[in-house]
Amino acid sequence: MSNRYLVKAAGLVVVVGIAVAGLLVWYGTRVPNSTFDSAASSNLSDAALVQRGEYVARSSDCVACHSLPDGPAFSGGLEMATPLGAIYATNITPDDKAGIGRYSLADFDRAVRHGVAPEGRRLYPAMPYPSYAKLSDEDVRALYAFFMQGVGPSEVANVPSEIPWPLNMRWPIAMWNTLFTEPGTFAENTEQDAQWNRGAYLVQGAGHCGSCHTPRGLAFNEKGLSDADEQYLAGALLDGWYAPSLRNDPNTGLGRWSEADIAQFLEVGRNQHAVVYGSMTEAFNNSTQFMTDADLGAIAHYLKSLPGDPERDGKPWEYMAAKDSAFTSAGGHLYETRCASCHGNDGKGQAPWIPPLAGATSALIAVSDSAINISLNGSLRVVADGVPDAYRMPAYREQLTDLEIAQVVSFVRTTWSNSGGEVDSQAVARLREHTDPASPTPIVLHMR
């Protein structure tokens, strides 16, 4: 082949490459369509609409991510760790400069349901728009009314992300969205009743429960966005905590919970099986306890319809009392002196105030992070109806060595028929390095 043909071929490759690159950049920065036009932004000051928007904001737990305990509500600043670097939640108050004060309803819709800010800037999927895509037009409009009419503006500046170039380029997120999100709002299942559909809408959409409780793929995508996928809500490790299965798995999920148990847990933060801890504490403190009994019942009804996986979950747990000799081990002695006064030598706790450790999900799953994390760092305050809980799990970070925490956690995870297995001091050391003590201050944020 002559040099002339090689030059032509190379030129063609360059032209095609430029065209493809241009197409990708266009695709990645294009502004998606919104169902709202300019007229939809009018008549947003109606008190009932704003109140409905506040309820949607509570159901969506917006305040927990977009606020800091010592700052104005919704002014952003919360650090979120990602494998690529830290990002920070943004100011979503109606401030014209720092917030979203200049957003039209269509702009707001694109950000919430499509993950696209004005001028085509893509949002990182730490913003749970893959779930919020299911929100109805009515709820998005009410949510916008609340943020524009019911939230005070704040001039707190946004914190830039710490993701380095070129990983911080956002246009490739459009391709990620194409692969891992589902377009369209929630579609009712005509084979199910109204309560089931309401629960599905809240869990899949506003509640974005899958963001924590669904396992992630290699591209950090949720492996399912609805009950159509058997991995949806099957449990996942996130930020040092294991969010358990919300399916009817008898060991690691809700198989032993009734609908009433689930609704009680979401309403008051505790039941006969467990007390909220880890990230779920903030979800309870700022979201679920403010929801209506009907909606909590709908969520429980929906979750109890999700089948478990006996092959994954194993034989159902059955209680077996610990032998006296078990307490002569190093871990057993630590448990008896440090833990038994609250959780009992029988491991059954003092429900509903102090949870049982016998049969606890954290003691049955192979992943040990939750059991280690709460032993190291304790639990956040549970605040129900404005009253802080008096029974907070203390932090043993300063009192026990890595080896001692490994010993007592291993005891709990291998006693009373618990099948989680032993842990070693290296696992404790890793979490000690990458986690912080839980705040003793109640984390409850006012939205107005």
Q: Which residues sit in the known binding site?
A: 62, 65-66, 209, 212-213, 339, 342-343
Rounded to whole angstroms, the Cα distance separating 257 from 264 reads 10
In the block, tokens 């969010």 appear at 243
DSSP structure string for 35-85: S--GGGGSS---HHHHHHHHHHHHHHTHHHHS--TTS-TT----EE--TT-
Which pair of structure tokens corresponds to residue 355? 């949870």
Please, are residues 380 and 281 in contact by the beta-carbon 8 Å criterion?
yes
Q: If we measure between CA atoms, which residue out of 396, 394, 372 comes closest to residue 381?
A: 394
Segment (H or E) for 293? helix 293-303
> Chain-centre distance of CA 41, in angstroms?
30
Q: Give, in degrees to the nearest 5, the angle at Cα 224 between 316 and 292.
A: 75
Q: Give, in degrees to the nearest 5, the angle at Cα 369 between 430 and 361.
A: 170
Please, are residues 321 and 417 in contact by the beta-carbon 8 Å criterion?
no
Q: Three-state SS string across 327-345, please?
A: HHCHHHHHHHHHCHHHHCC
Rounded to whole angstroms, the Cα distance separating 274 from 294 reads 22
3-state secondary structure of 172: coil
Rounded to whole angstroms, the Cα distance separating 170 from 54 reads 30
Q: Which residues are annotated as a binding site for heme c?
A: 62, 65-66, 209, 212-213, 339, 342-343
